Structure 1
Amino acid sequence: MALTPQWLDELRSRVTLSTLIGRTVKITRAGREYKACCPFHNEKTPSFTINDEKGFYHCFGCGAHGDAIRWMTDQRGLSFMDAVKELAAEAGMEVPAPDPRAAKKAEAQASLRDVVQAAADWFAQQLGSGNGAPARDYLAKRGISEATRDAFGFGLAPDSRSALKEALKTFPTAMLVESGMLISPKEHGSDKDPYDRFRGRLMIPIRDARGRVIAFGGRILGDGEPKYLNSPDTPLFDKGRTLFNLDKASPASRRTDRVIVVEGYMDVIALAEAGIADAVAPLGTALTESQLGLLWRMVPVPLLCFDGDAAGQKAAMRAATRALPLLRPGFSLAFATLPAGQDPDDLVRAKGAEGFAGVLDDAQPLVERLWTHEVAAAALNTPEERAALKTRLLNHADAIQDPDVRHHYREAFRERLDTLFARARPERGPRVPWAPQGPRGGGRRFQPDPRLQPPADETRSIGQAGIAAPLAAALIGGLLRYPEVLRRHEEALARLPVPDSADAELLGLMLDIAMREEGLDTEGLLAILEPMKVYNRAMALLRADRMHFSFNRRLEGDEGVAKARETALRDLDEYIGVLVTQPEIRARLAEATADFQRTMDDEGLARQQKLRAMDEELTRRLAALSDSSQL
């Protein structure tokens, strides 16, 4: 689907932003603008402004900023394309048609949505009928009010193999099977007719981020197994990419600045009954990478709340180990543990929302949860057992892909190990890392290996200083000329250590814009940046004389432009690879050098020399990309 910057600009121009925002937020005119209390954070004095002429909103309190499309994605929780479609329908614009395969897939999904919505309506009708009395009694005993029941769309699947099939007979049987409403024995070689999947169960609709029913969870009424049954994966529903209650928790989390993850959907509903609206749950599986991504879009540190029993703690560790490779600066997890034998329903019934809040207040950071678990996992009486603890902890740290986060985890574990195994030692003089120690130092005479090279200044400080400022400026200048590269390298650029805070902010905004705007070019990017304070810096970088890189040159004339552009894009891709990789290599080199200082073995020396050679090769590649020595 090709959405050009021109088409998107036309869409924005047809939308009156104050009218759009004023539907859900109380706004008042202030001169040529409008003001309101910011919907993205709690405040009493309005600091949220809306400018219809420029087509953007801005909060001077929390920094929230965007246009009509951003409002729909951030405040309404819509995807970019869903936001565009809704605004286009309102503006009387036709969205450019997708390719035929995508259109066919969208049409099929729309038809299946009709099926599951019809099923949800019928289940709700059954719960309200005379047959639903036992199910309503069960909900009452669980303390679930009628208002909560209606909000979550509870229903009842009668204990029948054909009741739903008969109720939805206007839909083709094949669609009922594809939507997960019926089970087809023919898939297993039987010639029997399809029959209802959910029978004798309390039904709970599962919705997508827009609040549309896509699947169901069913709890057995009475005896039977399984206790909970979810819809199978369908074209609408992928349980590994879905969080229960995401549609309600996402806007609630913007008010509370948190999101709580509990084990099941009945836990979510119990918390909602107690007035805690920012809770979600996975759907019968351990947290997946996709679900962690959904959580991190809401808040940097989601709160995972698990039962205090063995099963709950295993679930917590599964989530912890799944998250480790994905950690990046500022984004992690925290773990709250419920009292043994209690679930969220028990706790809020006994102590109310305040009692549950107390559990959340005691949440442990991820690093602390890993430490606590591993220390308790085995005895620590012998040197071998202590070495095993160190190995387990450092294995956790080594699973982290981000070099800065990995380094800090290793340091945190080493500090804790030193404290845990500290013993009284004779007084010794200070040890200078790079100098010999004589007898006055209180220990054996130490002569450092003459082959040992101390880390260079830039190596020791790389974690703090990041990449050199001129290199970062050249990079951003190149990305301004070739914004299409932003989407291709989003993950790498997002974790790049840019030393200048203004440049770091500019790069972050460019990435954010690129993820929202398809088909972005320089003109479109600058148009979006124009009302922002970083615009002048962007223009300065774009015009700066950094001609020693091909991607900083202005393409002029017709001859050779295509070839020059191809070269610039290729060089920019490689340049990004070097800038992202070199800080990691240098951090590992500093660590290897420090390890060799302690061990003085050949293996440590070989590792140090290998990393130094890799660092030098990256420096050579960087120089080769430039036709000037002025780096």
Structure 2
Amino acid sequence: MSGKIPKYFINDLLSKTNIVDLINTRIKLKKNGKNYQTNCPFHNDKTPSFTVSYEKQFYYCFGCNIHGNAIDFLINYENLNFIESIEELSLMHGLLIPFENNVQSEQNDYFKKQKLYLLTDKISKLYQKNIMLTSSACEYLIQRGINKSMIQFFSIGFSDFNWNFFCKKLNITKKLETELFNYKIISINKNKKKYDPFQGRIIFPIHDKHGRTIGFGGRTIENMSPKYINSTETNIFYKGKQIYGLYQVKKIHPKPKYLLVVEGYIDVIILTQNKIDYVVSSLGTSITKEHVQILFRNTDTVIYCYDGDIAGKNAAWRTLKITLPYISDKKTIKFIILPENEDPDSIIKKEGAKNFKLRIKNALTMSKFFFKNILKGINLSSSDDKFHLSVRALPLINCISSDTIQIYLKQILARIIGILDDYQFEKFLYHQKNKKNNILQYKNKQTPMRTLISLLVQNPNLSTLVTSIKQFNKSKEKGIPIFLEILKTCSENPHFNTGQLLEFYRNSEIINILKTLSTLDHMIVEEKIKNVFLDLLKNIYKKDLEKRQEYLISKERINGLTMYEKKEIWSINKKLKK
């Protein structure tokens, strides 16, 4: 354990969490016997190999071997760290984390986050109230074509040019002002005057998936530079991991068929107003791998829409390269490149929603966009250019996890460079095949002790079958200390499942051994598990007796035995005859 959060709390949190429900809200599970299955979300899985056990509160993929409990799933699927995953589960169950008294910094960070959520929500509501009191801000939004329902739906606000005027107009107390300053939501200038970094700007609150306000985007209504700014990063706000508008999309479409990614806040709002209500933005920043992972967690098809200028086209190509490793047989991307000097806001006003939807329908597939861009400047009548094309294209194609998509793109590439028949193509694939490093997996030799520990880890209630451990205290069998340690923990926590047991040992020296053993398939029917476990115990005990017997017999031949040792060998012989 990390020592930052009490063990009892984590155990209680896991006991309250149903891992099947937790995972099923993110990826659809299907009942298969007593377990649940689906295609693995962590690798390009063509057949369902991802299994979730309600009984063990544990997940495991037979394809890529990823496994763990509810906390591990959040860490791997949501890209959270350990503390963040505990916070997520705590929020889900409406619990506050009782940090241990000796870990002040983690406790402070946690409560600072809670305070930030509270303060960003308060200031957001003040901005929203203020926009209705500010004619210039309302006129700007009307001019941009944004109606009142969108102002409310996206919680749009306005920050005045003068903080003191803003405070006075909205009756902001000195206590709240001090808190906003202490948490760096407002600042102080060289003249010792407090000011809002968003002063004079339309405010676009940014929400997390729970609807909490975590930061803001601001757009000037005058000729201030820069035109757009975002909140500085805090404990709750990271630009590279946030998607603007996703919370609003999910309110309308819990499982959207598409997500249309645009560049600006107003683009999102205007398109949503025109009934294209699956639009999001990456806060005006370049797409990151974290953005891509979030997008694909929420939909199977992402459509990127970029402005038609050079910067927009370059951004689209960068986005493709970042997204390629996350494309699979089920996850795909498309592209819309708008006419030059147009953005989604301007083009929909010119063409109307119906024509914009046609652009979405006719969006370029990933393969068409890929070859359209990679062929730029290539002279296909030149052998050198064909070679250059292969050198440029193949590393990008090889980034894709799906073998099917790789082969399809390589077929297109082969035709472009003049490889037409199947034999030549097979030869081309052979010579150009990307050499993937084989992941060496630790393969356990199924020794009786490993099987014994594995059965206990997978079925902690087996500990109730062990009535005495005295017979194993002097055992020299390899692995016995680990077995006795796990047995003690299971006996002291009779209601533990596999997920809770592994969590108990998360940061211990033996956690990797236990994780490996937790996934072993012994091919034992459930009704026979108890008998096998008891037989293994007896066999290990018998093996210990035989080793001791051999030692005593050997000693008797050389030095003779003491009276005590003679009684001991007589007792061993008697036990072995049973």
Q: TM-score, normalised by structure 1?
A: 0.54
Aligned residue runs from structure 1 range 184-223, under 5 A: 184-185=188-189, 192-223=192-223
Aligned to 2:120: 116
Measured in 2, the distance between the counterparts of 1:478 and 1:394 equals 47
Aligned to 1:296: 296
Aligned to 1:155: 157
SS of 1:302 mapped into structure 2? strand
Aligned to 1:415: 411
Measured in 2, the distance between the counterparts of 1:554 and 1:286 equals 59
Query: Aligned-pair distance for 1:172?
Result: 7.0
User: Is residue 98 of structure 2 the alignment partner of residue 97 of structure 1?
Assistant: yes
Aligned to 2:138: 136
Letter in 1 for 2:228: Y
Aligned to 1:257: 257
Count of aligned pairs between the two proteins: 410
Which string of whole-angstrom CA distances, capped at 9 and with x for unpartnered residues, describes residues 567-588 of structure 1? xxxxxxxxxxxxxxxxxxxxxx
User: Is residue 521 of structure 2 the alignment partner of residue 544 of structure 1?
Assistant: no
SS of 1:222 mapped into structure 2? coil
For residues 429 and 257 of structure 1, do their structure 2 counterparts lie closer, same or farther at Cα, with a shift above 3 Å needed?
Answer: closer
For residues 80 and 182 of structure 1, do their structure 2 counterparts lie closer, same or farther at Cα, with a shift above 3 Å needed?
Answer: closer
Letter in 2 for 1:360: I
Q: Is the 8 A contact 2:259 2:303 kept in 1?
A: yes
Alignment gaps of 5+ in structure 2: 26-54, 56-69, 75-79, 445-451, 460-494, 502-517, 526-531, 542-578
Q: Is the 8 A contact 1:306 1:337 kept in 2?
A: yes
Aligned to 2:147: 145
Measured in 2, the distance between the counterparts of 1:11 and 1:408 equals 38
SS of 2:395 mapped into structure 1? helix
Aligned residue runs from structure 1 range 273-284, under 5 A: 273-284=273-284
Which string of whole-angstrom CA distances, capped at 9 and with x for unpartnered residues, describes residues 312-370 of structure 1? 21111111111233445533422223344332223333444332221121223333322
Instruction: Tell me whether 274-283 or 95-104 shows the greater mean CA deviation.
Output: 95-104
Aligned to 1:30: none
Aligned to 1:372: 372
Letter in 2 for 1:544: I
SS of 1:206 mapped into structure 2? strand
For residues 554 and 251 of structure 1, do their structure 2 counterparts lie closer, same or farther at Cα, with a shift above 3 Å needed?
Answer: farther
2:185 counterpart (177, 181, 184)? 181
Aligned to 1:311: 311
Query: Aligned-pair distance for 1:175?
Result: 4.6
SS of 1:284 mapped into structure 2? coil
Aligned to 1:170: 174
Aligned residue runs from structure 1 range 399-410, under 5 A: 399-400=399-400, 402=401, 405=402, 407-408=403-404, 410=406
Measured in 1, the distance between the counterparts of 2:424 and 2:416 equals 22
Aligned to 1:615: none
Q: Is the 8 A contact 1:262 1:281 kept in 2?
A: yes
Aligned to 1:32: none
Aligned to 1:522: 498
Q: Is the 8 A contact 1:162 1:196 kept in 2?
A: no
Percent of pairs with identical residues: 22
Alignment gaps of 5+ in structure 1: 22-53, 55-67, 73-77, 435-453, 472-476, 485-518, 526-537, 546-551, 562-631
Measured in 2, the distance between the counterparts of 1:243 and 1:4 equals 30
Q: Is the 8 A contact 1:394 1:413 kept in 2?
A: no
Aligned to 1:235: 235
Measured in 2, the distance between the counterparts of 1:138 and 1:354 equals 26
For residues 244 and 521 of structure 1, do their structure 2 counterparts lie closer, same or farther at Cα, with a shift above 3 Å needed?
Answer: same
SS of 1:215 mapped into structure 2? strand
For residues 178 and 264 of structure 1, do their structure 2 counterparts lie closer, same or farther at Cα, with a shift above 3 Å needed?
Answer: farther
For residues 162 and 411 of structure 1, do their structure 2 counterparts lie closer, same or farther at Cα, with a shift above 3 Å needed?
Answer: same
Q: Is the 8 A contact 1:5 1:521 kept in 2?
A: no
Measured in 2, the distance between the counterparts of 1:118 and 1:298 equals 29
For residues 373 and 8 of structure 1, do their structure 2 counterparts lie closer, same or farther at Cα, with a shift above 3 Å needed?
Answer: same
Q: Is the 8 A contact 1:183 1:195 kept in 2?
A: yes
Q: Is the 8 A contact 1:180 1:231 kept in 2?
A: no
Measured in 1, the distance between the counterparts of 2:181 and 2:158 equals 19
Q: Is the 8 A contact 2:255 2:299 kept in 1?
A: no
User: Is residue 365 of structure 2 the alignment partner of residue 385 of structure 1?
Assistant: no
Aligned to 1:353: 353
For residues 290 and 178 of structure 1, do their structure 2 counterparts lie closer, same or farther at Cα, with a shift above 3 Å needed?
Answer: farther
For residues 109 and 382 of structure 1, do their structure 2 counterparts lie closer, same or farther at Cα, with a shift above 3 Å needed?
Answer: same
Q: Is the 8 A contact 1:259 1:279 kept in 2?
A: yes
Aligned to 2:487: none
For residues 225 and 381 of structure 1, do their structure 2 counterparts lie closer, same or farther at Cα, with a shift above 3 Å needed?
Answer: farther
Q: Is the 8 A contact 2:244 2:280 kept in 1?
A: yes
RMSD value over aligned CA atoms?
5.1
Aligned to 1:443: none
Measured in 2, the distance between the counterparts of 1:431 and 1:309 equals 40
Q: Is the 8 A contact 1:112 1:175 kept in 2?
A: no
For residues 252 and 483 of structure 1, do their structure 2 counterparts lie closer, same or farther at Cα, with a shift above 3 Å needed?
Answer: farther
Q: Is the 8 A contact 1:308 1:337 kept in 2?
A: yes
SS of 1:204 mapped into structure 2? strand
Which string of whole-angstrom CA distances, capped at 9 and with x for unpartnered residues, describes residues 187-228 of structure 1? xxx674443212221111111111111211111112221111
For residues 381 and 269 of structure 1, do their structure 2 counterparts lie closer, same or farther at Cα, with a shift above 3 Å needed?
Answer: same
Which string of whole-angstrom CA distances, capped at 9 and with x for unpartnered residues, describes residues 473-527 of structure 1? xxxx99997579xxxxxxxxxxxxxxxxxxxxxxxxxxxxxxxxxx9843879xx
For residues 302 and 555 of structure 1, do their structure 2 counterparts lie closer, same or farther at Cα, with a shift above 3 Å needed?
Answer: farther
For residues 388 and 479 of structure 1, do their structure 2 counterparts lie closer, same or farther at Cα, with a shift above 3 Å needed?
Answer: farther
Which string of whole-angstrom CA distances, capped at 9 and with x for unpartnered residues, describes residues 528-576 of structure 1? xxxxxxxxxx99955539xxxxxx9899659999xxxxxxxxxxxxxxx
Measured in 1, the distance between the counterparts of 2:158 and 2:233 equals 21
Q: Is the 8 A contact 2:329 2:404 kept in 1?
A: no
Measured in 2, the distance between the counterparts of 1:220 and 1:174 equals 26
Tell me: higher relative CO, structure 1 or 2? Use CA pairs within 8 A at least 6 residues apart.
Answer: 2
